[in-house]
Amino acid sequence: MQKYLANLKLGFYRYRQYPMEFLFTLIKRLLQIFFIVVFWEIIGSETGDKPLIELVIYFILFNATADLIMAQTFSLGDKIARMIHTGELNNVLIKPVNPQLYIYSKNIGTLMPLIFVSTTALGILIAIGQLKLVHIPFFLVYLLIAIGIGIGLNSILASFAFYFTKIFGLREIFKYTTRIFSGSFIPIYFMPDILVTILDYSFLSYVGYKPVLMMLGMLTPTVKDLSIGIFWVILITLTSRLFWSKSIGKYEAYGI
């Protein structure tokens, strides 16, 4: 555990050395939320009775959790893929750690300032009465499910780097599929009913949409819903580990 915490701190020190990078990253995130909100304000007449403030809070929460889940940018999978192609992964493999979790901890470290800002925003929304403390326990449960799925998906993406010299196109497919169908661009409740039903059983709704709805008080946790989420965590985690184990064997035997 100490190795993971030390790696997290190492990632955090990056922003201490380059504070302007954090500033521009924060501005970029705020602009993303701003333009999405403007978009929904423009088409507001077509969104039924959903008030604008609800959409604003929805997208603030979605962006706040996206950094932890990493299923919107696949930055973790992309980083591991680059380490595979450059041979830098060897420096991690010789350590007595889980490679994916070790790299994930450093990634989280680089995102700590943004996570702090997101947590502060969450606290402000609770303080002004837009969110309720009673929703936090199940929000955290759904968030953990989302993180488990996100790490698994990133691991699957990274494993393809053992077989291809470039995974840019594949990463874009992963990224935009999850962004569109996880509610990042359009809340799933605005989609056609048949698609809402399908996505309700899909892992895609768990990597952002359902944790946010839980915090907004728009989702009632049920044994069925939680069981589906846990099922996807187990299935995707097992698949990613099997794929990684098979691929890393090829890497260690032949190299890249």
Rounded to the nearest integer, the mean pLDDT of the chain is 82
Check if the beta carbon of residue 163 is closer than 8 Å to that of residue 238.
Answer: no
pLDDT at 239 exceeding the cut of 90: yes
Q: pLDDT by residue (tens digit) across 98-124? A: 777 788 777 777 777 777 777 777 888
Maximum separation of any 2 CA atoms in the chain, in Å = 60
Q: Rounded CA gap, 241 and 253, in Å? A: 18
Q: Tell me whether residue 157 is exposed, middle or buried, using C-beta atoms within 10 angstroms of its C-beta: 0 to 12, 13 to 18, 19 or more.
A: buried
* pLDDT at 157 (0 to 100): 93
DSSP H helices in 128-255: 136-159, 168-181, 193-200, 209-216, 223-254
Cα end-to-end distance, the chain, whole Å: 30
Q: Tell me whether residue 212 is exposed, middle or buried, using C-beta atoms within 10 angstroms of its C-beta: 0 to 12, 13 to 18, 19 or more.
A: buried
Q: Rounded CA gap, 70 and 65, in Å? A: 9
Q: What is the mean pLDDT of residues 140-164?
A: 92
Alpha-carbon distance values, 157 to 4, 21, 69, 121 (Å): 22, 27, 15, 31
Q: Rounded CA gap, 10 and 16, in Å? A: 10
pLDDT at 25 exceeding the cut of 80: no
- Reading the block at residue 228, the tokens are 């589906």
pLDDT at 47 exceeding the cut of 60: no
Domain range for 163:
2-254
Highest mean predicted confidence (pLDDT) among 45-54, 156-165, 204-213: 204-213
Of 115, 32, 113, 33, the closest CA to residue 68 belongs to: 115
Q: pLDDT by residue (tens digit) across 62-105? A: 888 887 888 888 888 888 888 888 888 888 888 787 777 788 77
Please count the structural domains in the chain: 1
* pLDDT at 46 (0 to 100): 56
DSSP tag of 187: -
Q: Taken in order 175, 180, 184, 185, is the CA torsion positive or negative?
A: positive
* pLDDT at 247 (0 to 100): 87
pLDDT at 199 exceeding the cut of 80: yes
pLDDT at 254 exceeding the cut of 50: no
For the ranges 9-13, 21-25, 99-103, 150-154, which has the lowest average pLDDT? 9-13
How many other CB atoms sit within 10 Å of the CB of residue 195?
Answer: 12
Secondary structure class of 166 (helix, strand, coil): coil
Q: Rounded CA gap, 161 and 164, in Å? A: 5
Residue 111 CA neighbour count, 13 Å, CB half? 21
pLDDT at 55 exceeding the cut of 60: yes
